[in-house]
């Protein structure tokens, strides 16, 4: 059973270059979508616990979006 602080899924978080705060999270066990090209996006880190999450990341919305789309776009309002 996961610890209380752990997320249901681990997410690789990518940052949009030249657009501060625009982020995309992809479940660690999912292929990275083609639109996350290195020219426009950079890998930032892997979020495995709630402490790793940026402001604006909603775990339930991320889970739902990742299931439907394969990724979760969000705005890091702390950026």
36-69 confidence digits (pLDDT tens):
999 999 999 999 998 988 888 999 999 999 999 9
* Cα(7)–Cα(44) distance, integer angstroms: 18
> Quick one: which of 2, 1, 4 has its CA closest to 51?
4
Q: Is residue 74 classed as helix, strand or coil in its secondary structure? A: strand
pTM of the full structure: 0.88
Q: What is the predicted pLDDT for the residue at 1?
A: 44
């Amino acid at each position: 059973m996961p610890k209380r602080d752990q997320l249901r899924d681990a997410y690789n978080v990518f940052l949009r270059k030249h657009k501060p705060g625009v982020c995309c999270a992809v479940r660690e066990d999912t292929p990275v979508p083609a639109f996350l090209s290195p020219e426009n996006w950079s890998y930032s880190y892997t979020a495995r616990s709630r402490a790793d999450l940026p402001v604006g990341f909603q775990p339930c919305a991320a889970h739902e979006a990742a299931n439907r789309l394969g990724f979760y776009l969000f705005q890091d309002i702390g950026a």
